[in-house]
Amino acid sequence: MKNNLPSGSIAHAVDVLNKEEVIAYPTEAVFGVGCDPDSETAVSRLLALKQRPVEKGLILIASRFEQLKPYIDDSMLTPVQRESIFAAWPGPVTFVFPALPTTPRWLTGRFDSLAVRVTDHPLVIELCNAFGKPLVSTSANLTGLPPCRTADDVLAQFGPDFPVIIGDTGGRLNPSEIRDALTGERFRQG
């Protein structure tokens, strides 16, 4: 069965996500693969696909900050820290927050924190709004291969039946910058 998802079929993508499957979609710089962050089955499938150890932790991508609140503890943020974060969002900056104690280890890995981003990519915003929550998001590429920048790249690496939302990336050359929400320390240049 062909699973390619035209940009107009966000509803189909949500159906695939609700079946605890992994999809690919364009983000600010590259295509991402993602799944339901609340499904250990879905996250296990994504980790197996990427050959990524669970200990490394994952990133959640959301359409708005409220979607991230069930996973992160923002109670220690000062007004200045909050202002700095919201000045960068929506956009291609990922912040590492303290995770809530209820946040599953399949998301945080060996950490007590979780990396999260509020996207400005219109298709991802539409997808997260339709799904009603954030997605796990990591670059769409198999271990050792470059990140996919087009839907055709995704199909070449993952196979012709892999569910892909067809669309353009945001045109950025580098993946998202990653910063600590509390200290502002930069972990990865954007």
pLDDT one-digit tens code per residue, 154-176: 999 999 889 999 889 988 877 77
Average pLDDT, the chain: 91
Please indicate, yes or no, if residue 3 is contained in any of the structural domains. Answer: no
> Which residue range(s) make up the domain with 163?
10-188
Nearest-angstrom CA–CA distance, 46 and 140? 10
pTM of the full structure: 0.91
3-state helix, strand, coil in the chain (%, to 5): 30, 20, 45
Q: Give residue 64's Cα distance to chain centre.
A: 13
Structure tokens at 112: 């007590």
Nearest-angstrom CA–CA distance, 111 and 33? 21
Please indicate, yes or no, if residue 159 is contained in any of the structural domains. Answer: yes
Please indicate, yes or no, if residue 84 is contained in any of the structural domains. Answer: yes
Report the pLDDT value the prediction gives residue 190, as an integer from 0 to 100.
Answer: 65
Over 70: is that where the pLDDT of 45 sits?
Answer: yes
Over 60: is that where the pLDDT of 41 sits?
Answer: yes
Q: At a CB cut-off of 8 Å and minimum separation 6, what does 101 contact?
A: none
CATH code, 123 = 3.90.870.10
Please indicate, yes or no, if residue 32 is contained in any of the structural domains. Answer: yes
Q: At residue 40, what is the residue type?
A: E
> 56-84 pLDDT, tens per residue?
999 999 999 999 999 999 998 999 999 99
Please indicate, yes or no, if residue 5 is contained in any of the structural domains. Answer: no
Q: At residue 154, what is the residue type?
A: V
Please indicate, yes or no, if residue 158 is contained in any of the structural domains. Answer: yes
Are 34 and 107 in contact by the 8 Å Cβ rule? The answer is no
Please indicate, yes or no, if residue 2 is contained in any of the structural domains. Answer: no
The number of domains in the chain is 1
Please indicate, yes or no, if residue 154 is contained in any of the structural domains. Answer: yes
> 96-129 pLDDT, tens per residue?
999 999 999 999 999 999 999 999 999 999 999 9
